[in-house]
Amino acid sequence: MVINVLSNRETERAVVRCSNGRQLAGLMFLLMVLGIIVWGYWKIVAWMEDADRVPLSQFMVTGDHHCTTNEDIRQSILALGQPASFMRLDVNEIQQQLERLPWIKQVSVRKQWPDELKIHLVEYVPVARWNDLNMLDSSGKAFSVPVEHVGKQSMPMLYGPDGSEKDVLACYRIFNEVLSSAKFQLKAVCMSARYSWQLMLQNNIRLELGRYDKVRRLQRFIEIYPFLLQQAWNDNKRISYVDLRYDLGLAVGWASVFIEPKTEKQ
């Protein structure tokens, strides 16, 4: 019996040692697997962050944009410094940089694997020129655009004190509607600091409307214009300006007719 008891105890110890060995081997295997995973992750991140391996090489621009050129975008990105690798690139920083372009209304930027930026632009749409230097959109928002980006697009020219953009644009629309119904084309509208209004027609006739009863005075001009035109024809003159700042009448400025220069015959 003593021999059997000793044998059983040795057997139990052997089983325990074997079990501990398997547990230790399993733990070591688990640690090795985790080490390989961490090492692989680190290598992948290092590879992706390497600007030479995954550089930003191109961008695509979408949206209804007319003023923004690819060079504008490229220079905006380069202004942030040397572009980081694709994974480290901060799209929020690029978005904020593009929003600094004064004619940009809204921007969204996202990354497209492996090396491309997707840029969606929304620009302010100009409807009129403002004080010769800026543009106005349909809501009366003033913004600047490089002259070479606008081209020779024909737009009404509006003038007024800073802060009066919306008022001047609203009155331009009223004046233009009244004049268009009588086949006149409105070229420019100016509001002075004292809220006095002056219009310039496409045929270069200047209208002085003053501060009050602007639409009524404009309608008075439309009614009398055929008679002024007949008188200009009879006298071989042209109408320079019409001053409508009178309760009962108007004043007319006359000028010599334009003479086109003769060209030599070949």
Query: Which regions of the chain does DSSP assign to beta strands (E)?
Result: 58-62, 104-112, 116-123, 128-130, 134-136, 142-143, 157-159, 186-191, 197-201, 206-210, 237-243, 251-256
Q: CA 239 to CA 254: how far, in whole Å?
A: 5
Judge contact between 225 and 214, C-beta under 8 A: no
Q: CA 104 to CA 56: how far, in whole Å?
A: 23
**Mutual angle of helices 70-78 and 91-99, in 10-degree steps:** 120
Q: What is the pLDDT of residue 48?
A: 54
**pLDDT averaged over consecutive 10-residue blocks of the chain (266 residues)?**
54 61 72 76 58 59 84 85 66 89 91 79 93 94 84 86 96 96 95 96 95 94 95 93 91 82 52
Provide the whole-model pTM.
0.72
